[in-house]
Amino acid sequence: MGAISHLGHGADAFWHGLLRAESSPGEVADPHARMSVPLMYSVPEQPLPEISSDGDFDGGGVPPGLASRYAIEGARQALADAGLGEVPAERTAVVIGTGMGDSGLHERWRTDGRPDADGEWAPVFSVASALGAWLGAEGPVSSISNACAASGFGLSAAADLIRTGVADVVVAGGAEAYSRVALACFNRLGAIDPERCRPFDARRAGTVFGEGAGIMILESAEHARARSAPRVYAELAGEGWSCDAHHATAPEPAGTQIVRAMRAALEQAGASAEEVGCVVPHGTGTELNDVVESGALHTVLGERAARTPLYSLKALVGHTGGAAAALGTVAAALMLHHRKVPPNRPVAELDPQCRVRLPESEVPLEGRFALVNAYAFGGNNVSLVLKEARA
């Protein structure tokens, strides 16, 4: 796995950041962000390679934007972590979820002008293509862009490529970088918390965006055994999709289709409520989302919902849009690997309508499964169930 977030670069930095449970957003370093709440959980500055549009490092062509570079750096980390040897290019695939793609590149051109004289056209949703070119993958290379559930759907699609025999290895996950347009739109919606991202807090006032990437190497258990993989974090055991199409931005109040997605994922994984050791919720900090998801968890997990530890990832890294499900999956896999749930960022006052458990100190992970949820505008819902890796 590879991870880039507000907590730093690399899966180890990500895990240690979860254990510290400390973070705060800051103002975006964009003089053109003329909006009332220009807050974001930004990625700490660290040199990233300049990559041309054809995946080379020679600086030719139109360089991909920051989201593509996050994805490539996350993939570099993941490939090193996996100890992956030679895989035929035609048996290697790429699936990346992103909400805004490389739109930040175009936004910068809008204010600063194009660096090249000929004004060569560049696509916005180019993250998967840039990663595929850098990797030299000749299998399917796909970008999935259904907003904040994108990388959850992407991981499901990646697993299907392996199950159906199309690919042996899939580099999959999500990437998102700062977008002035996205932040401005959420400001206009009144959906940005002026303090920080506070999921399930009674005083929450919206979400706060973050940026980064979560990249995983997916392969079959047989393929991992055949190459003597040095480490297997978890098994992607179940996925559930649904769409309620209730409203352009608001979740359906009863959470019917959210429940459906969770139940489908648990059923495919063969996981009972008693076996779910932790939940990484979508938990954006917006008023309706947190209440609806809390109610849906009680419907699915029953009386265990109030006792099963939730890990509120967005309270530390912000809402990373299309990368949210991927970073949530990285977090869940690390919890299964280390057999513990890190401490949550403390909640000042738990919303009485959100009857969930958010441990503020480290607790052991009890159960073989972890549930990850991701929801998006338009009612796009996805749930993933991870299972502890077999010895």
First CA to last CA distance, the chain:
18
Question: Cα separation of 254 and 266, whole Å?
Answer: 20
Beta strands 92-97; 141-144: pairing state: parallel
Residues with a known catalytic role: 148, 282, 319
Distance, CA of 173 to CA of 213 (rounded, Å): 7
- The CA-CA-CA angle for residues 77, 171, 150, to 5°, reads 105
Under 8 Å between Cβ of 249 and 189: yes
**Residue 69 DSSP class:** H
Of 40, 313, 326, 25, residue with least CA distance to 183: 40
Residue 329, SS3 per DSSP: helix
- What are the strands, taking DSSP E only, across 105-178? 141-144, 169-176
In 245-358 the beta strands, taken as DSSP E runs, fall at 276-280, 340-341
